[in-house]
Every structure is written in C-alpha cells, then in structure tokens.
A and B are shown apart, each in its own frame.
Chain A
Amino acid sequence: MMSAPGRGSALVRGSYRVCTQCARPAPRPRIASTITTAPRASAVLPLASRRYYSAEPATAQTPTPESTPPPPTSTTPTTAPKPDLYRIKSGVILTRAPLLTREQTPFESAFYFYQKRLNERLTAPFRRQFYFKQDTAADLDFRIKLEERHGVPAKDIGRYNPRGRKAWNDELLTGSSTSDPAELVEKLLADAEVRVSEDGEPIAPEERVPVERPVPRRSEADEAGDVKRLDRAMERTLYLVVRRAGAEGEEAVWEFPTGLVPTEETLHETAARVLTESAGPNMNTWIVGRVPVAHHVVKPVVGDDGTSVVERGEKTFFLKGRIMTGQADLTGNKHGLTDFKWLTREELQEVLPEEYYHSVRGMMELR
C-alpha cells in the first residue's frame, strides 16, 4: 500500500487539532482614522476587511437570541427571527486511489504496436556481441530464442524485418492478436525462461522451469466479490460508504460518514473527527483541502401554517479524503453504523439513494 511522507506534520503536531490557518488571528478591521464618531457597523468598514470569514459577527439590525446562531441563509434583514430550518453537517468521502493503470483500449494498443514497428525501421540494428560474450550460456540462450523468433531481436513485434524485401508490409491483418498487451506479457514471460544450462547444454522442454506468473490484475477479493477489502477493483477509485441504522420504523441507509458540525468546529475538523469516530483510528488518511467537494440538501418539513418547522432540514458538506493504509473498523463507533463497503462509482449508484448520489457524483472521477 502507498503512504504519504509527513509533510510539515511536525509543525502541526505541536498544536493538536488546530491547523495553521485556523489558529491565525482574524484580520482586524482597519477603520480609517477620520471616521471617529460613526458607529462601528460593518457597512462602513473598508472593502479589504469585509471578509466572509471575519471573526466579528456582522451586527444585524434585529437582535437574535444568543443561544441560536443566525441561520446562514438569511442575508436580508428580517423583521422576525427566522426559525432554524437547517442543521449543518459535515462528512467525508474517503477514496482509495486506483492502484493499477487502466487497460489499454484497442486503439491504444494498435498505436503502440505501430510505433514499435516504425521504430524498428529507424533505430540502429541490435548488436548481440555488445551484450553477450561469444559462446557463453547467455549467448547460446539468446541465440536459441532469436532463431525461434526468425531472427527478429524484438520479442513483441511479431515476424517483421525492417531491412528486408518486405519492409513495407508492416501492418497487422484484421483479427491478429499480436498487438494485444496480454499476449505481449505472455511472450515476455516465455522469453524469460532459461533454455540453456550453466554449462551451455540446451535444456529439454520437459525440464524447463516456467517463470513465476506475475500477480493478476484481478485480486482474490475481486474473484470472491468481497466489497470490504481495499485490494478490490484495483484500477478504479473506491469510495467508503457506511450503513447507518435508521431510527425506529426507518430503514437503514447507506451514506458517507457524516456528523453534525458543532459551533466551535470548522467543516474539515468535523470531517476528520467524524471519520475517526466512525471508522476507527486504524487508518492512514488525509483530508484533501478544507473546501467541500460536494453538498447535499434535505429540505425541511414546514407545518401547515407556513412558519412552524415540523422537521428541520439538513445541509451536508462533503470533504474529500484519501486513504493510504489501514482499514475501516466500525467496532465501537459513535454514529450507529452497522456495516461498511468500499464501492466504485457505478456500485455507489445502486446503493445510495438517488438524490444523494446525484448530489455527490460531480466529485467522482470517471475511473
């Protein structure tokens, strides 16, 4: 598995759970010295100091109760305090990057094959004497294989002589599998077999030791259909989804790990905390940036009179996370999670609720 070197982690380690940006004091409003009698309202501040993340809360015309912060949606002054319509939640979409490069398309493999034969015409010829001492075992071995390839030094271009009478005939016939990458690997593995013993005697076919096969692209987890292992679907990005047990009478739903944002925390802090609380500390993860990559809104249920709130809505912001090593472990989690899966984009579409998937699909890579 891969892992990231701790870039600057030593600096952050000193101040636990407070990142550099958050710990820095907010810029003080610079008020021009000429304005002395004017009230310190945010409207008269110079442009540079009026920022969205200013530490001072904007003084609204109507005093809101101290216990509840003003709803983030109300930008225009209202006569009556608006009820809290939404709860703010923060979640993390934990991804595992692809471990393998994707397979070549037929066009790509045909293109690379064409380039190889073209290169054969333009490059200097292979000189065996430069690489192999005359009549050594390695030389005999190479000569045997060269003869089997009809004198073509390259192992992967088929029977093609760039300096011969038929040099023009460099195109493959339809249906030929010579340019197939899987066949290329087979040829290379066959060529890696030792054909001559140390004392220069050719080895009989039944006594040759076949080369150990490389690890296949599909892992055991792929074959067994295990969606909990991280070594499945190795050429795709995987996403962690957890199953939250519903309240009484409700169905359990699949979702990304999310949690409510307390007043004193920022989104990325909550996301990191929620991830640890729900999937355990036994993961080497990295929250990519502090900006959410997706958001999902659940509309509030308003009563018949139009003002009373029956059920508050939810605004969930998702941050992107990467997992380097480790595995999710739900034992003892604080969010009532019962199960987890590592799924690809297409599998997510089947598992997640439709609107939920629609909100987050923009952040997903095609692979």
Chain B
Amino acid sequence: MGKLPSTLLRRPSLAGYLPSTSPALPHHTPTTAGGLLSTPQKKAAAAGQVRHATFVPRSRRPYQFTQLVQLSDGSTFTVRTTSPLALYRSAKDSRNHILWQPTEKSLRNVEVDEAGKLAAFRERYGSSWDLDAPTTAAGADAPGAGAAAPGAGDAAAASKEGGEKGPAVEKKGAAEEKGDKKQVDAKEAKPAAAQEPAEAAASADPFDSLVDLISTYASEDKNTKGGLSAKDQARKEKKKK
C-alpha cells in the first residue's frame, strides 16, 4: 500500500528479535528472566525497545476545504467540504421555498396564463383534469365535471347520472340513494343520520368517533400546493362581488 508519512513512527522491524524456538518452548520451564530469554534475545532487548503492537493504519480521508455557503436570503455560514470552491451560492433553499415560508406571497404557485390558453382549454374540456380543483367547483356546466371533485369521492362516484345538476344538488341525491348503506362522508352524515337509527355519537370526546375524525379531514383545506391558482383567485373575487 501507500508509503507511511514521514512524521509517523515506523513500525519497528521484528526480524532480528523473534526467537526461532519460541513455539517449542516447554511450559514447565522455570519462569525466571534468565531462563526464559536466550542469549540473542538478551542482546536484542539491550539494543532497543520492542513494541509488540499491531500497526493500525489511519483511514485515508480526502482533503477538505472551508467553504462559505450563502443562502438565498444573503445569510452565510461555513462548512467543511471537499469542493475547492470558496463560495457556494444556493439558488433554492429553505429561505425561498413555500414549505418553509408559507406566508410568503411571492412564492405562491400562481398560474401564469397571459395568453389565455389554459382558460381556453378549461372552457373546452372542463376542469376535471385539474388535480387540485376545489370541491365546490362551479364547473358543473362542463361535461364530466361531476366526477371531478376529489374531496367528495364516494358521493360523486355513487351518482352516475348527476352530470347536469350542480355538485351540491348532486350530492344530496347521492345521500338519498345510499340511505340504506353506511354513509361515511362528512357532509352527508347529518341528513343520513336523520333516516338511520341514532348512532352511538353520544361520546363526549370529539375525536373518539370515526365520523368526526373523518369530517375534520374532509374540511381540511386542500391547498397543499401553496396558494390559489389564478383561476381560483378570480373565482374567489367574483364570489366576493
């Protein structure tokens, strides 16, 4: 392998010191120093120190530099790295990412649709292709929009003919259809409970009953992608007016 660095101690060579008869040494020999060591060994001990230690080679580590890392907001820190660059500027980090900066408006995933191509697509094919379309979408006029609402999963799936009605009407119809079945969907739980025998919902703990737990999930806002798209914002503003 590689040569030893000159600053480290060399392992002393044991060639001249090892007694050739040591394995055959009888056990019942008197253990005095004079009896154990033969004459050449005495000479070797007098000549120099013997280390019967194994040499453990130091692990080879790559050379490391100190590097200055600058985050996107200008703050800096130093790291030890193998990169010979003195300064590393990060383009995307926790300082300009929506996951860590949920209140930063400039990081929102706003749909840029200046040419109106996306709007034209929606007008023609509906919004059922949008993954994060809101559950109360007014896209009822579009064909196939009934099955679009992801939050209303089983209610929408149950009503196959409810394409023409608005989503709210359609959901109510689904609830009546499935009156005999177990209705789990949160928004339908109350009208369904009127027909069904009273559930064991009397428990005082709000999170004990499964229905309540699921309802909290259903009411959770689906805004996981960070912000409304331009389309949804426009819709919201229209509602306000």
Contact = CB atoms under 8 A, between A and B. Distances in A.
Interface of A: 1-3, 5, 10-11, 13-15, 18, 20, 23-25, 100-101, 116, 119, 121-128, 131-132, 142, 153-156, 163, 167, 184-185, 188-189, 191-192, 211, 214-215, 284, 325-326
A188 to B, nearest CB: 4
Contacts of A325: 103
Contacts of B58: 122
Given A15-B206, A20-B207, A24-B205, A189 B86 contact: yes
A25 B204 contact: yes
Given A124-B61, A189-B68, A10 B217 contact: yes
A184 B63 contact: no
8 contacts: A10-B216, A11-B213, A14-B216, A24-B204, A153-B84, A163-B5, A188-B66, A188-B67
Nearest to B70: A214
Contacts of A191: 86-87
A214 B75 contact: yes
B103 A326 contact: yes
Contacts of A284: 103
Interface size class of B (residues with CB under 8 A): 35 or more
A211 B61 CA distance: 31
Contacts of A5: 99, 102
Interface of B: 5-7, 58, 60-68, 70, 73-78, 83-87, 99-103, 204-207, 212-213, 215-217, 219-220
A125 B63 contact: yes
A131 B82 CA distance: 10
B225 to A, nearest CB: 15
Nearest to A116: B66
B64 A23 contact: no
Interface majority SS (helix, strand, loop, mixed), chain B: loop
B68 A13 contact: no
B75 A10 contact: no
Nearest to B219: A14
Contacts of B100: 2-3
Nearest to B74: A215
A23 B205 contact: yes
A121 B70 contact: no
A6 B154 CA distance: 27
Nearest to A3: B102
B15 to A, nearest CB: 29
Contacts of A211: 87
Contact of B86 (A14, A128, A188): A188
Contacts of B219: 13-14
A237 to B, nearest CB: 18
A119 B216 contact: no
Contacts of A215: 73-76
Contacts of B87: 188-189, 191-192, 211
A168 to B, nearest CB: 9
A156 B67 CA distance: 10
Nearest to B220: A10
Contacts of A128: 84
B95 to A, nearest CB: 9
Contacts of A25: 204-205
B63 A142 contact: no
Contacts of A124: 60-63
Contacts of A127: 63
Contacts of B83: 131
A123 B60 CA distance: 7
B66 A156 contact: yes
A124 B61 CA distance: 6
Given A3-B101, A125-B63, A153-B84, A188 B68 contact: yes
A20 B208 CA distance: 11
Contact of A119 (B64, B74, B84): B64
B221 to A, nearest CB: 8
A123 B64 CA distance: 8
A268 B111 CA distance: 41
A13 B15 CA distance: 80
B66 A184 contact: yes
Nearest to A162: B7
A23 B86 contact: no
Nearest to B186: A14
Interchain residue pairs A-B with the least CB separation, the first 4: A215-B74, A14-B216, A192-B87, A191-B86
Contacts of A153: 63, 65, 84
